[in-house]
Structure 1
Amino acid sequence: MEIRKPSNTEIKTILKLSPQALFEGTMGRILPTEEKIQQLIKPLLEKGCYYLIAIENDKLLGWILIGANKDQFTDTMIGFIYELYVIQEFRGKGIAKRLLKSAINNLKNEGYSEIRLSVFTENHAIQLYRQMGFSERNITMSLQL
């Protein structure tokens, strides 16, 4: 398995699969259109965020979207993981962990002293994030009306 930046064709494939990735990552709460994904992702890519992909035998296994973000209170630039996704048929093989390790290394090498991410509380990926050293920093609460 290789982890690398994707080609433009591979980015198009990721963007087509992203509605399902977001649906699963939000625990079935959001199923965006491809147009909505473009609205969300295009500005990130334009500001320098990028994907790393896990690929084997020309088959896309998963991806991670990383880049910079600004702390809302201090204006400090931090590394941020915007999305991590492994295609269902390839789960349970350590791919997410390898993508996460690569992302952490890239962001560290880019000079960030902190990396953050957001995740729904029911998402099983929390266990992986904790295993990799992430801890809860703040909690967003919701009241359904």
Structure 2
Amino acid sequence: MFIRRATAEELRFIQSYAPIVQQEATLGYMDGNNVMNEEMHYHYKAEYFTLLDRHRICGWILLGEAKTPVNSETMGMVLELYVLQPYRKKGFGHMLMNYALHYFKQKQLKKVQLNVFAGNHAKKLYEQMGFKDVSTLMERPL
């Protein structure tokens, strides 16, 4: 079991899952047609890292950077975390998040943020790893 920067072939595989990932992560709030584009990858300087077991992809994480609005400090951003269905409930999400935290520490960043939709089961993992709510986005249909 190891994690590494995604290869071109692995990126194609990840892209094929983009609508599924978006639908699951947003609990159907987004229909999977608004997948993260190249402009967003460029904005966050984002890179995918894959979790592999015997050269099979088990999951991946998309890591990037952003500036804090308050003091323009650079912080790490977990933009996507996904574990394929057969590999869930085995601690792989935790492994990917630990990789992300170590990656950002190596870059000497002081903070990491992520966005998670209400009701997403991954929120429990993030809370167990020390993430706290910073803001709440609220919405109401008109």
Q: Does 1:45 align with 2:41?
A: yes
Query: 2:94 maps to which residue?
Result: 97
Does 2:82 match 1:79? no
Matched, 1:131 2:128: yes
Q: For residue 79 of structure 2, give the secondary structure of its aligned residue in structure 1.
A: strand
Deviation at 1:74, TM superposition (A): 2.9
Q: Report how far residue 60 of structure 1 moved.
A: 0.8
1:57 to 32, 35, 54: 54
Gap regions ≥5 residues in structure 2: none
Name the % identity: 30
Which structure shows the bigger proportion of residues in helix conformation?
1
Q: Give the whole-Å Cα distance in 1 for the aligned partners of 2:16 and 2:138.
A: 30
Which residue in 2 is equivalent to 1:4?
4
Structure 1: which 5+ runs fail to align? none
Partner residue, 1:20: 20
Compute the TM-score of the two structures, normalised by the length of structure 2.
0.92
State the distance in 1 between where 2:29 and 2:118 align: 13
Q: 2:67 aligns with which of 70, 79, 97?
A: 70
After superposing the two structures, state which structure 1 stretch, 70-79 or 127-136, moved more.
70-79
CA contact (8 A) 1:51 1:64 kept: yes
CA deviations 1:111-141 (Å, max 9, x no partner) are: 1100000000110111100111101111111
The alpha carbon displacement at 1:45 in A equals 3.5
What is the aligned residue count?
A: 141
| Distance apart, 1:43 and its partner CA | 2.4
